[in-house]
Amino acid sequence: MANQETAEEPQARPGERYPFLEMARKVLLASIGALALAQDEIEEFVDRLIERGEIAEKEGRQLIHELREKRKAHYEKVEAEIKSRLEHIIARANLASKEDVEALSKKVAELSRKIDRLAKSE
């Protein structure tokens, strides 16, 4: 009998199998970058106002803190909404979740062990 080697298929990146998910990831990353840039510009603007004496330093720091908290809350809300929608899309597409695949892998490994034990006992 010829020795058959099984070549593992290279794992596809998420974007290769599901272009929508890759596109959503890119949009999310771009949004995060835009928010970070806007936050930096706001902080620079507030720093200039403080330097010119147009607002007190304490007020400026409080304003920056409030803006950061609002951005963080908004980001968490958007992230939760995106996650919810993606889960809904995946469920409707009837795709296996990571947990499903892991559970099946465990079952296959257990069955393989049982087969090995039965083969040895014969």
Q: Give the Cα separation of 109 and 1 in Å (integer).
A: 26
Taken in order 10, 18, 73, 42, the sign of the CA dihedral is: positive
Walk along the chain (122 residues) in steps of 10 and give the mean pLDDT of each run: 43 56 76 77 84 84 85 84 82 81 95 93 80
pLDDT at 114: 94
What is the CA 46 to chain-centroid distance, rounded?
32
